[in-house]
Chains A and B, each alone.
Chain A
């Protein structure tokens, strides 16, 4: 089955920009979606498709992709953005799904 690899942890100063990457072969064929998860809470969708935000997600969140890498950027990070972030896509078979290993974002 496919794998999606993320950096385990990143930190960002308040108000600055941070980019989280997700690497995997399946991303050559399928777009990634991105989820934010705070402690003790269910995941929340923040980005899907080429660069789409669900209603209620601030426009400081954006997505991009190139080849086998998808990226999530937070421009002007806020304290409330501190969370774990996971990418996800269909795997190479097309009928299973895979989550990335997760990135813990700390806002300093």
Chain B
């Protein structure tokens, strides 16, 4: 079955660090563009980061310099290392598979169920 399963969320104090994992099955993470998207409680979706097949990474301005996206090809797993966490980082974090048909057509066709990160003292 093709699926994504996130883990690693939890309660963390402001300034702390957390690493989220996204285990993929049914397809190869390294052969796909992969993203993280988050949703604060009661709020809309916010794109966080993407990793390209060639390893290039890009981030939303709100997390640049604090978050790092990576992957482990041997484990077929995507990661999000989150440092210097703030209360405003509290959200459900989803990993998603990107599809790129052309430079004009880019979309997220497969999503995990998400993992909740709560930043609070």
Contacts and interface: CB of A to CB of B under 8 A. Distances in A.
Nearest to A97: B47
B105 A42 contact: no
A45 B44 contact: no
A45 B104 contact: no
A54 B109 contact: yes
A43 interface: yes
Nearest to B52: A95
B105 A31 contact: yes
Given A42-B111, A49-B101, A98 B47 contact: yes
Interface in A57-105: 84, 86, 88-90, 94-102
Contacts, number: 70
Nearest to A100: B44
Interface residues of A, number: 29
Interface in B54-104: 58-61, 94, 99, 101, 103-104
Interface of A: 1, 29-31, 33, 35, 37, 42-45, 48-50, 54, 84, 86, 88-90, 94-102
Interface of B: 35, 37, 44-47, 50, 58-61, 94, 99, 101, 103-109, 111-114
13 contacts: A30-B103, A30-B104, A30-B106, A35-B45, A43-B37, A45-B107, A48-B99, A48-B107, A50-B105, A95-B58, A98-B47, A99-B47, A100-B44
